[in-house]
Structure 1
């Protein structure tokens, strides 16, 4: 419904129902049609003056101001645009994106049924004649199907209050118990949700609730589907969707393609869903959109065993990728980073360590990631050591691994208020300047980061680190020497194997990622330093790292959620090693060094 629209302009398109005449004058309730019933948005008043029918907002909920413009009506369509303004209790006002409605009058003269929302995510909406002049926010008219679907929503929310308590709790013993409760609640949802959804589909297949339950079963990749079940569920979804018109049907088909293509248990159903989208794709469509669609198609083909056809699609993608890479390097970052002028204190020798938790499926991470990359152009590695950890937040990310998750858990335990989601940033082990934004906010984030980094670069440390890493084939030999480590606290040495540049395009559209952690040689827990001076040697087999990453990603896709595409960037051609000395008593990073992995001499810092 309009009060929830925050993205692109919404277009409502008529349903394929028998048309009669333009809607007569009177009051009409504009509602979203949901699994729980009709959710009202506003009441429109249609009236004719001098032979011309106009529309105005007769009623909108308290705190909401809605205006109608561009109203036209014929026996085939009703069109208008709604602009919504919302005033928060604190007086702050929000203006939503204008929403355009296009619907077809029904034969009964009392309804206009159509679809709303963005093209890829259409929503069911309708106009209904009413004598009312106001309404409550209550959802109405759902019937038995809505009652059945309500249980689905209640089960989905089972873990939410526990998560809130966990975030607020300080006592370690209570947190441990809450973690157990959270795990139990999630397990209950995993076990009971498919049962509930199947019940709704079986009892109410012709309802909105039945169609949404069917979509829910397909959407959860861990749901084990019986032979032929996927096809039946798709049939339920398509039949119910026809009521809301061609645009809704087209959008639903794209959603089905998104859901079915990554699944490995639906045969060629994913291919059949995505192929019409591929055929309808225009040659002059943006290259990024074409790549996204073709990658989905490639994934569906591979899952259906059509490898030869998948290779042809892969070649087409590669051509488009070259064009996109060139465009990206020319425009990102969208500002010129300043070169660091140098430390003011000649005795200052402590490196600043910036750790960024991010995700390739995370839109707000764009500003943080781009600013992070820009910092790499401003500072040398002796001054700033950059580290990027990828997480499955908010969606599956193939750059995530057990080591990055272990580091997330390490910091989450110490700073539950400072590390809540992606993007999160730490400087020398302390959370600062969290949050992100879109590409337009990248320069502001860059400025916020440099304002933290520059003062820290005037600090000194007694810790000294030198190291080297040599690679022969896939064998990497790492040697690190340390000195001046404080005996107080809980100092530990941690080693990180990072990839200088990784190309992977997630839903946030960033194409390249830098200083990406691939493994933590010696373990994420690190090695306790018992003496002020010492050394550590570790061997890494890159082929084994690849194999372990592949297994981890395979297991995640099978047991948690599938990845949006089949891409698994595991090249690991240009590697680096980062050595951290960190005080586990406080989480403070005391010093760090980065050195390239290469067949010849080391770079020591």
Structure 2
């Protein structure tokens, strides 16, 4: 639970991420950094979370560090510790790395921490303590008045929309949405001035950087000029210097990516993107992101020849990165399911994963999910992945996924509050996630839930057929052994593999829900021998997805990247029979698509 809380907390403050630079700089221990240090990080200006007390000492001329007190008893371990009088670098066994510079007085090390794809403000502070005070693990600093007012406005909108999503009464829902619209209008009117005031009057505080990020992400809505955007981008670079080059690069690129997605402002970020891409010694993933941002800017500026050349560079990098990624992910060999002990057992297990491409703690869950695909046959385990705008905008999110989230959230409000969330046959279990290092343990946790369920039997049977011709699907499904107003058949169209590199740097997503033919509410199974047909037009699906994403970007938050993958070539259809009263999935089947246009099936 601690890992989930720490990683989820880190996730709320970021919209895009950067792989950490871990090049060695020093080998010898320096007596000036020996002693005890409190390790804290700040995912949001004004909020500081304590992780551990780290003891540093010299042994055989080399720096050695160990955790002598972890937050809430967490079993943290330090690895690859390097230090001298100027800098400190080390890793933690939760997949995070710290990098910082020693202050002039030697009492504070300012830097950043996070998994490979994240850089969050962090620091080490000298202490005489050997144990953490469990009542003081989180400290808060009051925000300047304009920032406090800005946060209050945005929080009001979020809370009203969240309440509206789970409200079942139609009139109450309508009233909440009206209130949310009014709150949004007020926020849109007042936020630009408040955020500008934070930048102008409180530039010496961490709140200024957060305010700049908010301004840039909504630059078009707030009517920022190209000159103002360019000035804010320059300020990002200056304000991030104290936390080191990794944090500075991460924040600058995130700002560039936010700007190039907004019409009329793309050119403001061209020079910065170009410089970031040419910085020597950076990971290929970072260079590709910077080049991708620059290509968008060049296209917008009408510099098509340059854009084409940059596109060629990106393609070469992406091919190389993809090949290396596939070799490394998952970072373990999944053990294949040995088969059911009870040969008469016929219950198909359905695992539903709510995740997000911008979600750092979703990495372990997503990678374990992919490993399950290698370990089980779809006749035993049906895998479904829904993407959510948590903690940031995700172009793989759609109304069907949001409706499914609301369906479960209304029944399990305590268990379902963030991503990653996993349900097995309609019941929330094995929640939480972590970084890549935690993927194998999540895989084992999931199999511990799945295997006992596979020993169950049911009288419910589901079968069907799906054919494709061009952009159209024809679906027919038969259900037997189940009936009643509370028993529903739901159909889901899932895309086998989607390439989209979001904030958590996972490159491929599998079994992603793209649509629910017939609606998220499903169809009542009214007969013991029930038949149902449905049709899907992918032209309509793409049109609907585009409209949803356009409206989300305009009315809620813009996307950190312009990418909107909608290939929809290789798809499958999943049919679920579910009891709406208990939320239990009674049986399911995954149907491959037949036909010459079936994406390789």
Q: Same fold (TM over 0.5)?
A: yes
Q: 2:569 aligns with which of 569, 573, 589?
A: 573
Alpha carbons 2:393, 2:560 under 8 Å: kept = yes
Checking the alignment, whether the CA contact within 8 Å between 2:465 and 2:476 is kept in structure 1 is yes
The yes-or-no answer on 1:522 pairing with 2:521 is: no
Q: For 1:325, what is the secondary structure of its paired residue?
A: helix
CA distance in 2, matches of 1:351, 1:33: 44
| 1:295 paired to 2:292 | yes
Which position in structure 2 is the counterpart of 1:464?
461
Q: Could you tell me how far apart the structure 1 residues matched to 2:341 and 2:54 are?
A: 57
1:213 CA displacement? 3.8
TM-score after normalising by structure 2: 0.73
User: Who is 2:82 aligned against?
Assistant: none
Find the partner of 2:481 among 484, 509, 518.
484
Residues 367, 222 of structure 1: CA spacing in aligned structure 2 closer, same or farther, 3 A cutoff? same
Aligned residues: 533
8 Å Cα contact 1:363-1:508 kept in structure 2: yes
Give the aligned CA root-mean-square deviation in angstroms. Answer: 4.8
- Partners of 1:454 and 1:126 in 2: how far apart? 44
The reply on whether 1:392 has 2:389 as its aligned counterpart is yes
Question: Please, which of 383, 399, 403 is the counterpart of residue 400 of structure 2?
Answer: 403
Corresponding position of 2:279: 280
Distance (Å, rounded) in 1 between the aligned partners of 2:434 and 2:301:
38
The answer to whether the aligner puts 1:269 opposite 2:265 as a matched pair is: no
| TM-score, reference length from structure 1 | 0.73
Change (3 A) 1:198 1:352: same
| Local SS of the residue matching 1:436 | coil
Instruction: Give distance in 2, aligned partners of 1:234 and 1:443.
Output: 42
* Distance (whole Å) between structure 2 residues aligned to residue 222 and residue 501 of structure 1: 33
Determine the structure 1 residue equivalent to 2:433: 436
Residue 29 of structure 2 corresponds to none
Q: In the aligned structure 2, how far is the partner of 1:338 from the partner of 1:10?
A: 32
Match of 2:498 in 1: 502
Indicate the structure (1 or 2) with the bigger Cα radius of gyration. Answer: 1
Q: Which residue of 2 aligns with 1:333?
A: 330
User: Could you tell me how far apart the structure 2 residues matched to 1:300 and 1:598 are?
Assistant: 41
For 1:176-325, what aligned pairs fall within 5 Å after superposition?
A: 188-201=186-199, 213-220=211-218, 223-228=221-226, 230-231=228-229, 233-234=231-232, 237=235, 241=239, 253-282=252-281, 285-325=282-322
Question: 3-state DSSP class of the match of 2:564?
Answer: coil
Greater RCO (CA < 8 Å, at least 6 residues apart): 2
Are residue 531 (structure 1) and residue 546 (structure 2) matched? no
Deviation at 1:193, TM superposition (A): 2.0
Deviation at 1:158, TM superposition (A): 5.2
Q: Kindly tell me: are residues 531 and 270 of structure 1, through their superposed partners in 2, closer, same or farther at Cα, counting changes over 3 Å?
A: same
Give 5+ residue unaligned stretches, structure 2. 1-6, 11-18, 24-39, 79-89, 91-97, 126-135
Contact 2:383–2:511 at 8 Å: present in 1 too? yes
Per-residue CA distance 1:26-46 (angstroms, 9 max, x = gap):
xxxxx9999999x999xxxxx
Report whether the alignment pairs 1:101 with 2:101: yes
Cα distance in 2, alignment partners of residues 514 and 474 from structure 1: 21
Contact 2:43–2:120 (Cα < 8 Å) also in 1:
no
Shift in Å, 1:308: 3.9
- Residue 514 of structure 1 aligns to a residue in which SS? strand
Return closer, same or farther for 1:333/1:413 CA change in 2, 3 Å cut-off: same
CA contact (8 A) 2:365 2:432 kept: yes
Task: Provide closer, same or farther for how the CA distance between residues 174 and 86 of structure 1 changes in structure 2, counting only shifts above 3 A.
Answer: farther
Q: CA deviation at 1:590?
A: 0.8
Local SS of the residue matching 1:270: helix
Partner SS for 1:596: strand
Partner SS for 1:499 = strand
Contact 2:348 2:380 (8 Å CA) reproduced: yes
Cα contact 1:222–1:560 (8 A) shared by 2: no
Partner of 2:30: none
More moved, 236-245 vs 381-390 = 236-245
C-alpha separation between the residues in 2 aligned to 1:343 and 1:125?
51
Quote how far apart the aligned CAs of 1:281 are.
3.9
Paired with 1:339 and 1:532, the residues of 2 have a C-alpha distance of: 35
Is contact 2:345–2:455 with CA below 8 Å preserved after alignment? Answer: yes
